[in-house]
Amino acid sequence: WLKLPGGRALPRTQQEVHRASAGCQPKMGKKPAGKKDGAKQERSQWEGKHPEPKSRVDERKVVATVKLAAPVCSLLEFKLECTPSTKISFLVDRIIDRHGGSISDLSVCVNRFHPEEIVGRDKTLEQCGVFGGECIIYYDFVPRAGALLQ
């Protein structure tokens, strides 16, 4: 048989042409001596065993006390239960909700309010050094012009 690209083969001799037209395959060589078909192969100790899946739920708890930086106003203070993997953007959205959507351009700091320590919305509490327990989220904002401010 003459091997062609793509795995095809053509017969070389008249006898091979006859076998191909009769649906016969050329004889293959003898099987190598040694292993028998019924012999078992060695199985891995890990075959069929799977590792325990990692939980995607963060079990750690954080109680964040959210406060307006200035002026100090206990009426605008509230607590949020969350996890260290909570993003600052989630906290910003909750703060805006508490203000009825009337605020924007929030500046947020974790555990201390200072202009040099304003954190980005894409960071998590964990990236801000909060791994569990309690923390304080300070925020400041620019009020939006609305019916009450005109």
| pLDDT tens string 121-141 | 999 999 999 999 999 999 998
Is pTM beyond 0.75? Reply is no
Which has more confidence, 52 or 112?
112
> Contact, 125 vs 110, CB < 8 A?
yes
What is the C-alpha separation between 87 and 108, in angstroms, rounded?
A: 12
pLDDT at 27 over 60: no
Which of the four pLDDT bands, split at 50, 70 and 90, describes residue 150? Answer: very low
What is the torsion angle, in degrees rounded to the nearest 10, for the CA atoms of residue 119, residue 123, residue 125 and residue 129? -70
State the chain's mean pLDDT as an integer: 79
